[in-house]
Chains A and B, each alone.
Chain A
Amino acid sequence: MTSLIDPLLKVSGLSCRYGKVTALRGVDMEVNTGELVTIVGANSAGKTTLLRTLSGVLPRYKGSVFFAGEDITKMPAHRRTELGICHVPEGRLMFSELSVADNIQLGAYAHRKDVSWLKKGSDDVYDLFPILKDKAADPAGTLSGGQQQMVAIGRALMGRPKLLLLDEPSMGLAPLLVADIFRVISQLNKDGMTCLMVEQNAKAALKIAQRGYVMETGAITLGASASDLLANEEVRKAYLGH
């Protein structure tokens, strides 16, 4: 019951360093169940670092992360996946030499003993992205950027996410494809998926999100509803181009 009232994800005072370089300085933020929250910010603001720290592939330096009421600050990455934190990484990070089907199946690694899910989950992914069905046997590295992004999303969905982290899903895609990808993400959210999405394409992201944060040089400087951020004068100037 508590998880319905508490935020699904609660980040407090999170700091992270690469050697001597501080990339996150005391990040506070939260995501409630069912929300689509977006983080906008310039290059090198620390957005990717934040998501990777949430996934557990980067160690944090200070602060805490709670997920569904549980302290996961020191939990290794593979345990967090088991809890339902799934990550669509920046740059897609395909297993290039493996087939599309293998990439998608591997997304269910945490549920590999659940044979019926392996079948149903990949059927769902192919329903969501029918084009991947024709490419299932191709090495993932041979796909176009947009198709790879679909594989990356499909792979994360196979992990049965309770929280889906998306790192710049529109990066490097043609405008038409960008719209497609945002439509899919918005639909996933409407169907009940909680999402935390990092985007440089702030306008499109804020249009489908309910809330947003602005990140600057490793810290959250502003948090508000998506419509407030879209109307905010400074946000418009800095991130929306007018």
Chain B
Amino acid sequence: MSDVLLQSLITGVTIGSAYALVGLGFAIIFNVSDVVNFAQGEFVMVGAMSAVSLLAVGVPFAVALFLALVIAVCIGLILEKFAIEPAKSATVVSTIIITIGASIFLRGLALLIWGKDFHSLPAFSGETPIHIGSATLTPQSMWVMGVTAVLVFLVHQFFNRTITGKALLACSANPIAASLIGIPVKRMMLFAYGLSALLGGAAGLLIAPIAFTSYDAGMMLGLKGFAAAILGGLGNPMGAVAGGVVLGVLESLGAGLISSGYKDAIAFIILLLVLFFKPQGFFGKAGEERV
């Protein structure tokens, strides 16, 4: 394998891991409520920007990361409690529009708090890369891939092995039957938004040392995560993860082999192609009856 190819692969899987986490968040919320939460990207931004601010005021690194995650989760909970839940009788489409509104609101709020400057976090553990041929693998890349793998594994176990995870799936499969067996559907919805925000916030923290973050960084990442979820078949969490990694690799191959100018365009061309030719996604079995 040529080194350019290997390097593109490493870069692609790294950034693709972030897309995977965001896509996973999309899939979870879609799974429990059939809603595409377009504020998903803002969780990423809130996580990264909060950590930047906390570090700036002298909070120790690990504590800052932890608090930033807490803040992202709180934003997710507040979004559900005060924007989604009050509109419970709204149609799915109206609810999606509410999430778009919420994302614009959060971006505006971020602009007020943090201004337009670009920020980044220091790498979690040094900058000394490992050389593989002439390709390099940075410690931060390993953090991104490693933490993503752990989170994805935990989410997978949660949905497949725990009764709470299955109860979340039950809420989407049949909310009335779920209430009838004693599942507090409203509370589960809150939980789903919190979990999605946690994953988004984690993605933000992980890639903030690699990619610059700013008040509007959530928009692009949100759309990439959405593309990942679509690629994997909305409503299929593990499909979204695979979709994210595939998207990241294609993007970075495209940037490496053609031109980096096409990087963002690649995601959207893929998104459009998938929506047009294979709207149920590539890994989606759940998708077929939903779309």
Contacts and interface: CB of A to CB of B under 8 A. Distances in A.
B173 A96 contact: yes
Contact of B173 (A76, A95, A108): A95
Given A57-B176, A94-B177, A97-B286, A77 B182 contact: yes
A76 B184 contact: yes
B180 interface: yes
A89 B176 contact: yes
B157 to A, nearest CB: 15
A87 interface: yes
B183 interface: yes
Contacts of B173: 94-98
A55 B184 CA distance: 13
Interface residues of A, number: 30
B170 to A, nearest CB: 5
Interface string B150-184: 00000000000001101101100110111111111
Among B164, B181, B286, residue most surrounded by chain A Cβ atoms (within 10 Å): B181
Contacts of B178: 95
Nearest to B163: A112
Interface stretch (A99-107, A210-218, A225-233): A99-107
B179 A109 contact: no
A80 B183 CA distance: 11
Nearest to A96: B173
B63 to A, nearest CB: 33
A81 interface: yes
A102 B166 contact: yes
A94 B180 contact: no
Contacts of A55: 179-180
A87 B180 contact: yes
Given A89-B176, A95-B174, A112-B163, A81 B169 contact: no
A183 interface: no
Interface in A47-61: 55-57
A138 interface: no
Given A106-B167, A106-B170, A89 B184 contact: no
A109 B183 contact: yes
A95 B169 CA distance: 8
Interface residues of B, number: 18
A66 B173 CA distance: 31
Nearest to B169: A98
B182 A109 contact: yes
Contacts of B183: 78, 106, 109
A159 interface: yes
A113 to B, nearest CB: 9
Contacts of B174: 93-96
Contact of B169 (A80, A97, A159): A97
Interface in B170-228: 170, 173-174, 176-184
Interface in A151-191: 155-156, 158-159
Contacts of A105: 163, 166
A78 B166 contact: no
Nearest to B166: A102
A93 B176 contact: yes
A95 B286 CA distance: 13
A95 B176 CA distance: 10
Contacts of A81: 180-182
B233 to A, nearest CB: 13
A109 B181 contact: yes
A120 B73 CA distance: 38
Given A102-B166, A106-B163, A95 B184 contact: no
A136 interface: no
Contacts of A110: 181-182
Contact of A89 (B163, B167, B177): B177
Closest 7 CB pairs of A and B: A81-B182, A93-B177, A110-B182, A95-B173, A87-B180, A77-B179, A78-B182
27 contacts: A55-B179, A76-B184, A77-B179, A77-B182, A78-B184, A81-B182, A89-B180, A93-B176, A93-B180, A94-B177, A95-B170, A95-B174, A95-B178, A96-B173, A96-B174, A97-B173, A97-B286, A98-B170, A98-B173, A106-B170, A106-B181, A108-B163, A109-B163, A109-B183, A110-B182, A156-B181, A159-B182
Given A77-B179, A94-B174, 6 more contacts: A77-B180, A80-B182, A87-B180, A89-B180, A95-B174, A110-B181
Interface of B: 163-164, 166-167, 169-170, 173-174, 176-184, 286
